[in-house]
Structure 1
Amino acid sequence: MTLRLRPEEVARAAELLRAGELVAFPTETVYGLGADARNGRAVAAVFEAKGRPHFNPLICHFAEAEAAFAEALPDERARALAARFWPGPLTMVLPRRAECRIDLLAGAGLDTLAVRVPAHPLALALIRAAEVPVAGPSANRSGQVSPTTADHVLDGLGGRIAAVLDGGPCAVGVESTVLDLAAGGAALLRPGGVPVEEIEALIGTVARPIPIAAAERTRSLRSPGMMLSHYAPSLPVRLDAQSVAADEALLAFGPPLQGAGAAWQMSEARDLREAAARLFAGLRWLDAEGQRLGLSRIAVMRVPMEGLGAAINDRLARAAAPR
């Protein structure tokens, strides 16, 4: 049985983490599935609980930048980005230090480590109370829709993990931006909660991702969330819908198309922040309601490729990928 812990029970959640148990916890992006990142058995349990491919590394969460930089080697750009965006929805992939205490499995055996400092007060309280770095991929079965509430976590992982620390809905609603600084350049591995334009304003040009299918073929994924078919509901997903049929569910952005069998509004005002926060909840609801009503697929209205729109479209493209 998976415990649902209240915010005031953070000490209990920390005890479970130190004991090698898995505890889901809220961040400003989505709920993470936490494990002691130094404990190889606990990290292996994350992969088992999620059914996660072994070559997809995990993000390690820390309470402060210097704790992260004790395990991964920063350059001047990484320190500048940490000063500007941490705590917050930015993950940096950096070289592992020779003395790094993070279990190799957490980094999928690579010579790099994905690190971030989350902005959610309850996440920070948990990490400080546990006194360990916390490996924390999204708290869902691998490839399924990411969770933005404790109920979403329990829907997917109830009975498979020790507890979920309930901090209410997540504010951002899409995962962190992942930036690779390990090789001397700067490459965007995953769009997310920090728009790449804001990163470029601070450190200069950032290379865009290699095609996901190419990374997957070579098993060279350096970042979480880079699987080709990911964030996938059970119903097929059709992108850039300009009309909708009665046997389709609609994920709307702006004034909704008429005629759908069911509809979920990301943001009628076309506010990208609101849309990001409502994206995963909408995919989950449409998937469940569409199956209940016998609908054939989920049609998605077009979202602009700017700011958080890049992260939203990245998630939608993965949801629509062949599988």
Structure 2
Amino acid sequence: MPEKTLKLDATQEGLLQAAHILRSGGLVAIPTETVYGLAGDARNDTAVARIFEAKGRPHFNPLIVHVSDLAMARKLAVFDAMAEAVAAAFWPGALTLVLPLRPDAGLSPLVTAGLQSVAIRMPDHAVAHHLLQTFGGPLAAPSANPSGRVSPTKAIHVERGLGGRIDAILEGGDCQVGLESTILGLDGPPVLLRPGGIPLEALEAMLGPIGHGGNAAKPNAPGQLASHYAPEAGVRLGVTQPDPGEIWVGFGPGCTGAQISLSANGDLVEAAANLFQSLLDADKLAGPDGRIGYAPIPEIGLGRAINDRLRRAAAPRPQTI
């Protein structure tokens, strides 16, 4: 475990230092347009094992591999005509594709949890892109937070959750999307494995109706565990009238009594960007024995991804002994 976590600016010097740490098997939290990711060399067994250790993440839960360009992605996974078309339409961006793993990909088996598929994304963030180019290889990068807790959209969130457990944090400002990537399985018929920053409607406009999949007991992509994104306080959903003492997080103009608002005018893009910060702020107000109530969010567009995260935040927590 590192003695302290370095803070690196997104300068050429900072990028070179981050790349050096990664080549040495270290861990660097990096900004993306979705959330901050905890990056390690996806080809280095020790580095990937350190990601799981730092996060306290179950080893059966696969990781997303981040790439700088399509050429790098093609060395890791098999792209058929459909995958090529989807990548051309949505990359770089908040979309992860689960594709057949190439036998000679050279990835640590810990990245794929031993599966014959791999989750790949090309982030749409200048700092992440420049780091990937400087590093010159694929980076495994789940969200940079303790496993099961609220995902980080600011560098300070990473520091609070993982400070002293990772080597460095590369500062890149606030994440603009604020929700993790949509995960689309293309290792068979198209299937939505996790809603996220790319709305399902945008994918179906290109591909037609898309099925839904995912298995919390045996995930084939990240974000499928039943309990995830959890604050310390309990979470209740669909709240139009909060209970006494409950911290109410509103959405839309009808929630004038809410202590926190995802979006006062009902903008789903704004709500998505504010979601994880709202969980942190409400948790602080509620305290570990308190309760947070979220106003209803429409199940359309980005609302589908927001509701997915909130349902997981509200799910019963795994019991520890």
Q: TM-score range by the shorter chain?
A: over 0.9
8 Å Cα contact 1:244-1:299 kept in structure 2: yes
| 2:250 matches 1:252 | yes
* DSSP 3-state at the match of 1:7: coil
Q: Which residue does 2:197 correspond to in 1?
A: 193
Residue 10 of structure 1: CA displacement? 1.2
Cα distance in 1 for residues equivalent to 2:221 and 2:272: 20
Q: Structure 1 pair 45/256, CA: closer, same or farther in 2 (3 Å)?
A: farther
Q: Which residue does 1:2 correspond to in 2?
A: 5
TM-score, reference length from structure 2? 0.95
Cα distance in 1 for residues equivalent to 2:254 and 2:224: 30
Over the aligned positions, Cα root-mean-square deviation in angstroms equals 1.2
Cα distance in 2 for residues equivalent to 1:255 and 1:313: 19
Q: Which residue does 1:45 correspond to in 2?
A: 50
Deviations 1:175-234 (A, max 9, x none): 000011112x01100000111111111122210235xxxx223xx211101111000000
8 Å Cα contact 1:35-1:134 kept in structure 2: yes
Residue 64 of structure 1: CA displacement? 0.5
The ranges of structure 1 where at least 4 consecutive aligned residues each deviate by more than 6 angstroms after the TM superposition are: none
Q: Which residue does 1:222 correspond to in 2?
A: 220
Show structure 2 runs of 5+ residues with no match.
Answer: none
Q: How many residues align?
A: 312
| 2:320 matches 1:322 | no
Q: Which residue does 1:125 correspond to in 2?
A: 130
| 2:18 matches 1:13 | yes
Identity %, equivalent residues: 50
Residue 256 of structure 1: CA displacement? 5.6
8 Å Cα contact 1:246-1:259 kept in structure 2: no
8 Å Cα contact 1:249-1:295 kept in structure 2: no
8 Å Cα contact 2:72-2:137 kept in structure 1: no
Residue 131 of structure 1: CA displacement? 1.1
Which amino acid in the other structure matches residue 301 of structure 1?
A: A
Alignment partner for residue 94 of structure 1, among 93, 99, 108? Answer: 99
Residue 105 of structure 1: CA displacement? 0.5
* DSSP 3-state at the match of 2:33: coil
Which amino acid in the other structure matches residue 35 of structure 1?
A: G
Cα distance in 1 for residues equivalent to 2:6 and 2:136: 21
Residue 264 of structure 1: CA displacement? 1.6
| 2:274 matches 1:278 | yes
8 Å Cα contact 1:251-1:265 kept in structure 2: yes
| 2:164 matches 1:168 | no
Q: Which residue does 2:295 correspond to in 1?
A: 301
Cα distance in 2 for residues equivalent to 1:6 and 1:187: 38
Deviations 1:128-184 (A, max 9, x none): 11112000000000000000000000010000000110101000000000011112x
8 Å Cα contact 1:244-1:257 kept in structure 2: no
Residue 259 of structure 1: CA displacement? 5.3
Deviations 1:50-88 (A, max 9, x none): 000111100000000121111100111111111111000
Cα distance in 2 for residues equivalent to 1:196 and 1:78: 16
Residue 295 of structure 1: CA displacement? 6.6
